[in-house]
Structure 1
Amino acid sequence: MQQRLNRTSIALALASGISLLAGGIAPAHALTLLDLIRGGPAKRAPVAEEPAPAPNVAGRQPSSAVRDRDPEPLPKVSGPTYYTYKTDAVRAVKTDGFAAATATDESRFLTEAKVMAASDVAQALETYYGRSGAKTLWVADGDITEKARAVLATLEKAGDYGLDPADYVLPVPELVTASIEPVSATDEAVEASDVPAVSGIETHERQLMQFELALSAKVLTFAQDMIRGRIDPNRISGYHDLKRKDVNLSVVLPFVKNSTDAGAYLESLAPQSAHFNALKAELAKLKAEASKESAAVALPENLILKPGKSSPEMANVVAAIEHRGSDALKSKHSAIFAGYQQSTDYTPELVDLVKSFQEEAGLKADGVIGPATVRAMTGHTAEDKIRKLVVAMEEARWLPDNLGDRYVFINQPAYTVNYHEHGAEQFSMRVVIGSKANQTYFFQDEIQTVEFNPYWGVPQSIIVNEMLPRLRSDPSYLDRLGYEVAVNGRTVSSRNVNWYGSTRGISVRQPPSSDNALGDLKILFPNAHAIYMHDTPSKSYFQRDMRALSHGCVRLAEPRKMAAAVLGTTEADVSARIAAGKNVAAKVNAKIPVYVAYFTAWPNKDGVVEYFDDVYGRDAAVEKAFEATTKARTPQA
């Protein structure tokens, strides 16, 4: 799939000595070269004989000597990068405007409180405490209130919601019990011993006001985090494209003030969706069971074992299946477990056992034990699962709490897409997503069109990164493959293009055919990343367990089924439109959101949370952002 062109990429192209042609970059609409799709990266064919000189619409053809020397490096279109996470900027809360609101002796020191907070939190504090007649929320009669204690208890439970309690911890001022007797009018002087007592009380009052403002800041931060998450996804990488939610903080403190149960109010701000609650319940269960977890059976990650062979790891394979398999699987194969004699031979009955386990784990049930099967056998530890759940709960906050009554949900680590209608999953199918070098983005959009018998417009990233090296040595390469080439809208032969010049203004597309890289159809939800769902002639890829193999678009195992669902028609109707052989687009009239998501922990249609490998390493990037956020929120000594 196309990787995003950016100014840096174009600057690199210019720096490599490529001249610019008139005209803009042709729209990029697709995925990958057919010869690259089949079996992965194609082997380069022998260099063809140098063609005879021909007129060149893009400029004079360089001489043979120039081509052979090729002193300038080939240009490169670079994809997005992962960033060093930058936390929200903080500033000091402006307390000078609190003077009019601090008429009581109890709060006269509120203007001296010093609290740092994110700008939107600071603004909400200034608005609330700057109101005429504003009263303290957490302090009364020289001590913190029961409401404050209840809220502190809620903040301590932040971990139940996938948040970090360390972000909201706050020391409580100790209660001062010493009192000062009033001085009578007949006393000639105040005892010197009374002075420290007065000073101590004033210090305590200052501490209470510092606590008052600081707890309000923690409450606002907690409320915001509960609704939209702790981090901004768009600061993680260029592959994240999600609008950060707006949170109306101005209503939080007034709600807390008037609430009879402020803790319950704050807990009610958590997402209420079924998927979030499933993740939350799973997190609570795993935390409770973490101390009881039995040790997993160890297996070499690089183990490869085929039926009929033997391995000293065979006993561990059987033990791992007995440890990880379901009760139903263990019941079905109880005779095998009971009769196994620690043999190293991979016998037919053990092959059947492995196949059952593979099928239960959602893997290809071929009996071949490889890395994917080993990972399923050894499983994720409770600690691993808890980390995945915390990340997933954060990411769930980036999406709408209500995904919709009818929607398409692509979960990249699961290599699946699910179609939902009437509030329930109707079907699921396997997908192929972008490789680690050509990652699929994390974003949401809305399906608009199904195109039958599509053209494949080759993205500039593929033209520059993958086609250009071949075209410089074999300019007629695209002609032989049947691709259409145009320069500034004028159709030309690929051999007549100066492939040593700029590729700007040059468009390449593959006409509809049985060999078209997009297969019979594509499903479009126009976005800045030129990502969509589509068919593919490379059906064998869907049989693989690891399916991060494309240039970024999402290939569907059953494209006609998905097209029929979004169009509200039948698969027979879709097949008839394809059979007509015409390149036509059908508008999707219904409002169908599509979530191109990334969750290594996610509940299935039955509400059972499943776990997946972090194919792009994005969980690790989120965890680094968590660490940076907590560090930024922790007061420095």
Structure 2
Amino acid sequence: MHETQRQSQSTITKCIGMLAACGVLTFMVNAPASAQQTLPVSTQSALIALPNTQNPAEAEKRLPLAEFYHHVGQKLVWQDSARVDALVDALQGLADDGLTPSHYGVGELKADFQQSHSQDAAAQAVFDLGATRALLKALDHVQNGKLNPHDVVPGWDGPSRLKTLPVAGIAQAVMQGDIEQAFARARPQRPYYSPLRQALSAYRDLAAQGSVPSFPPREKALRPGERDDDVVALRRRLTYWGEPGLLVGNPEAYPQVRIEELDLREFDAELEAAVKRFQRRHLLETDGVVGRKTRQALNTSIKTRVEQLRVNLERGRWVAPWLAREPHVWVDIAGYRMEYVRPNGERWSSHIVVGSSRRETPVIHSEITRLTVNPSWTLPPTIVREDILPKVRQNPDYLAEQGITVINYSGEVVDASEIDWASPGNIMLRQPSGSSNPLGDVVMRFPNNAMVYLHDTPAKGLFGRDRRALSSGCVRVEGARELARMLLQDTGSRYQLNALINTSRSDINVNLPRHIPLALHYLTTWPDDEGDVTFREDIYRRDDRILSALNQR
């Protein structure tokens, strides 16, 4: 051993002794026994001496630091400026993932690197471990999410972490100097993530350019074919949101007219098409008319859209492992749609009606286990208490008019006229199967604590609305019979749906031979089938809690 190496080793050994005597000694996390035995003293001292700004038992206990150094041959890897610069660049790119680069020490890395190289080997080892910690922490957050969804999503019933970091591949990328490739591999490899990330980058650039005047309030909607000064304001707002060619003429669209003579006050066909595209991206009725809802969307601040994208990139990291499962049923609550990915890869989608803001549809991870055909409906206690009892007290014949029977908890039918509706006691209300039953012809059931299920409905007209947060928590499915038929077919059931519906029996329970994974998720920004990012109303006001947690260091 060279003399300088012996001196450095002696210095670091003294550091270990001092830290141990002070009770500061900590243990390496997630390290194989072989890695613990062979780690050099310099790396051990760095693990000990590196300060933790967060609770190491919670925030960073997953970081496989010792495993990383095992894969790089117990060598310090951040000892040249080019590699440190590559790490800084990669951490800066976290802004497009909706994360905050400064939370990973990006602003101090270069200065700390220079300072460590003006000091001894122990300081260099401390810097090396700090840089590796920043790398692994960032990759963990990009892959799995920064937040634990249990902490910020009411009723989250899924696992908080589904994947461990591919440490061997990360180590190889670092040694090859390709830090960005490690981040690219860590990001969810699902078709929705890249469009969300690109949209965030575009909207952040837009925010840096400043804003334009809002579209003004009007007593009447602005319609295609009108000529008005507000049309110019509309053109400016749509241009601000990325629609090209609305403030200058298109020579292909107007071949006979000089560009400078075009009347920007005219609500022409080209502008109408742009309005419809904007409405489609905001889940509004695509009628080309600028009414109240469209005006509100036009005037939303760019800051709000950036925050929405950040929140939903985080949600996208949580759900990525689940969406890799096939087949599965995916319920997009705030998007008012669902999708069934069949075993053969075919995708079937449908409009849905979800819970109102008073009775929210929860986030659920479960499996569809059975169907109920020709279901009767036992009214949930909340609906009985808040909806039905006030109506019965006003109209004693209400239950008879709706075909609802009263049942005691022994299962016996009770005469409604004998009930004291001011204090009804322990009763249940049940509506038999039939054309007026709110559950329609079929219910798809899955274990959950919220008594929520997917079901048919006789109120088909509700699916035509642009905002469909209208139910008491369950999910009404347009085309529920078709979904049920596919579930029976794809799971190998011997039952035929139409034959079951056409019998005179009610509450026919059919167990599926194979359970189908199902998830209900809440997403306020998400790409559509064409990859265009859509913005949805935060109907349950859930975004702020996640945003606040993301902003905390």
TM-score range, shorter chain: 0.7 to 0.9
Q: Structure 1's 578 and 379: CA in aligned 2 closer, same or farther, altered over 3 A?
A: farther
Query: Aligned pair 1:114/2:56, yes or no?
Result: no
User: Which residue matches 2:372?
Assistant: 451
Give the structure 2 partner of residue 283 of structure 1: 200
What's the RMSD between the two structures over aligned residues? 4.6
Closer/same/farther in 2, CA of residues 578 and 93 from structure 1, 3 Å limit? farther
What residue ranges of structure 1 are gaps of 5+ in the alignment?
A: 1-91, 179-199, 631-637
Inter-partner Cα distance in structure 2 for 1:105 and 1:125: 17
**Kindly, what percent of the aligned residue pairs are identical?**
22
What letter corresponds to residue 167 of structure 2 in structure 1? Answer: V
Structure 1 position 137 matched with structure 2 position 59: no
Which of 149, 158, 167 in structure 2 is aligned with 1:233? Answer: 149
Q: Partner letter of residue 185 of structure 2?
A: S
Residue 494 of structure 2 corresponds to residue 557 of structure 1: no
Q: 1:568 is paired with a residue of what secondary structure?
A: helix
Q: Distance in 2 between matches of 1:326 and 1:100?
A: 61
- Closer/same/farther in 2, CA of residues 604 and 422 from structure 1, 3 Å limit: farther
Q: What residue is the counterpart of 1:609 in the other structure?
A: 533
Give the direction of change, closer, same or farther, for the CA distance of 1:462–1:328 in structure 2 (3 Å limit): farther
Larger RCO (CA within 8 A; separation ≥ 6): 1
Shift of 1:314: 5.4
The corresponding residue for 1:398 is 318
1:229 shift after superposition: 0.4
The counterpart of 1:221, out of the listed 134, 137, 150, is 137
What is the number of equivalent residue pairs in this alignment? Answer: 502
* Equivalent position of 1:168 in the other structure: 104
Displacement of 1:478 after TM fit? Answer: 2.8
Matched, 1:495 2:432: no
Distance 1:590 1:279, change over 3 A: farther
- SS in structure 1 at match of 2:357: coil
Q: Structure 1 residues 602, 352: closer, same or farther in 2, change over 3 A?
A: closer
Per-residue displacement from partner, 1:500-531 (whole Å, max 9, x unpaired)?
Answer: 5585x532211112111112222222322222
Q: 1:564 to 1:399 in 2, by over 3 A?
A: same
> Is structure 2 residue 25 aligned with structure 1 residue 95?
yes
- Partner-residue secondary structure (3-state), 1:448: strand
Q: Rg bigger for which structure?
A: 1
Take 1:216 and 1:564, find their aligned partners in 2: how far apart are those partners?
52
Equivalent residue letter for 2:191: A
Q: Which residue of 314, 328, 337 corresponds with 1:416?
A: 337
Q: In 1, distance between residues paired with 2:114 and 2:274? A: 65
Cα deviation code 1:31-83 (max 9, x no counterpart): xxxxxxxxxxxxxxxxxxxxxxxxxxxxxxxxxxxxxxxxxxxxxxxxxxxxx
Q: What does 1:223-622 correspond to in 2, within 5 Å?
A: 223-248=139-164, 252=167, 256=171, 260-261=175-176, 263=179, 264-287=181-204, 291=208, 295=212, 298-300=215-217, 304-305=220-221, 315=231, 319=235, 323=239, 342=265, 363-364=284-285, 369-375=290-296, 378=298, 383-401=303-321, 402-421=323-342, 426-471=347-392, 477-489=398-410, 490-499=412-421, 503=425, 505-568=426-489, 574-575=497-498, 577-583=500-506, 584-622=508-546
Letter in 2 for 1:218: A
| Counterpart residue type for residue 352 of structure 2 | V
Deviation at 1:415, TM superposition (A): 1.6
Give 1:612 shift.
Answer: 2.0
- 1:624 to 1:473, Cα distance in 2 relative to 1, 3 A: same
Q: Distance in 1 between matches of 2:299 and 2:230?
A: 17
Amino acid of the structure 2 residue aligned with 1:119: A
Whichever residue aligns with residue 226 of structure 1, its letter is V
The CA distance in 1 between the partners of 2:44 and 2:549, in whole Å, is 37
- 1:79-120 per-position Cα deviation (integer Å, ceiling 9, x unaligned): xxxxxxxxxxxxx99635589878657975764443244425
Deviations 1:306-341 (A, max 9, x none): 879999775358636974797899989979999868
- 1:76 is matched with none
**Aligned position for 2:19:** none
SS of match in other structure, 1:242: coil
Cα distance change of structure 1 residues 579 and 293 upon mapping to structure 2, 3 Å threshold: farther
Residue correspondence of structure 1 range 42-81 to structure 2 within 5 A: none
Q: 2:113 and 2:243 mapped to 1: Cα distance?
A: 53
Change (3 A) 1:273 1:296: farther
Residues 229 and 398 of structure 1 are in contact (CA less than 8 Å); yes or no, is this contact kept in structure 2?
Answer: yes
Displacement after TM superposition at 1:127 (Å): 6.0
Aligned in 2, Cα 1:524/1:486: closer, same or farther, shift over 3 Å? same
8 A contact 1:415–1:430 mirrored in 2: yes
Change beyond 3 A, Cα 1:351–1:559: farther
CA distance in 1, matches of 2:355, 2:222: 29
Task: Tell whether the 8 Å contact from 1:160 to 1:283 is kept in structure 2 after alignment.
Answer: yes
| Letter in structure 1 aligned against 2:154 | G
Residues of 2 paired with 1:315 and 1:590: CA distance? 56
| Cα contact 2:272–2:288 (8 A) shared by 1 | yes
Alignment partner, residue 551 of structure 2: 627
User: Cα 1:409–1:313, aligned 2, differ >3 Å: closer, same or farther?
Assistant: farther
When residues 123 and 620 of structure 1 are mapped into structure 2, their CA distance, relative to the original with a 3 A threshold, is closer
